[in-house]
Amino acid sequence: MLTLEPLIEAVRSGIESTVWALSGLQKTTSHQFEGRWEGESTRSAYLFFHPGTTTADDVSIDVYLDETSQGLTGNLALVVDLVPLAELGDPTEALRTLAALATSFLPSEHARPVTLRLRLQDGTSDPRRAETEVRFKVRVPRADVSRGAGAVRSLAEASVQGFERILGSAELARYMVD
């Protein structure tokens, strides 16, 4: 795979082989005019998937894929809205629990970052009411891309299977919005 389109198709086929359906696709091209990357162009794709035929906003799989002069790369992320900060409890303990889910259920031969986001709608809002979101990511390494569409498709499918096990876990359920 040398361009973005075959990478998109490999990821899509891996994810769509499960119960997740594509709900959005955006492609962009960026040109750097100054600085370190002057003269470079980047093509990117953002894909969004929801389970089955629903488009509920509280759970999605977001995929970011990138084509640069250094090659193709990307990541797949399970994105889950959580309870407000006041109900979440100690963010350190929550992040520890969420990270343990990633290491338990996502492919171990790949980087598996976990992000816990806190967001206030306005600077005057009560911080205890901050919205929270977790992102469980699996990075698509260049080595998998170089092995071809089958390797990328397998990674996407294995990642989704891990995401589904995370979604079914009691540990995540205690943090999810009813």
Q: Which of 167, 137, 136 is CA-nearest to residue 18?
A: 167
Instruction: Find the angle CA(106)-CA(109)-CA(112) to the nearest 5 degrees.
Output: 45
Range of the domain at 30: 4-173
Q: Tell me, yes or no, whether 178 lies in a domain.
A: no
Please state, rounded to an integer, the average pLDDT across all residues of the chain: 89
pLDDT on residue 70: 80
Q: Tell me, yes or no, whether 38 lies in a domain.
A: yes
Q: Tell me, yes or no, whether 31 lies in a domain.
A: yes
Q: Tell me, yes or no, whether 114 lies in a domain.
A: yes
Q: Tell me, yes or no, whether 89 lies in a domain.
A: yes
Q: Tell me, yes or no, whether 164 lies in a domain.
A: yes
Q: Which of 92, 91, 85, 98 is CA-nearest to residue 173?
A: 98
Give the predicted TM-score (pTM) of the model: 0.89
Q: Tell me, yes or no, whether 82 lies in a domain.
A: yes
Question: Does position 56 have pLDDT exceeding 70, yes or no?
Answer: no
Total domains present in the chain = 1
pLDDT on residue 40: 72
Q: Give the containing element (helix H, strand E) for 90.
A: none
Q: Tell me, yes or no, whether 35 lies in a domain.
A: yes
122-128 average pLDDT score: 87
pLDDT on residue 3: 84
pLDDT on residue 37: 61
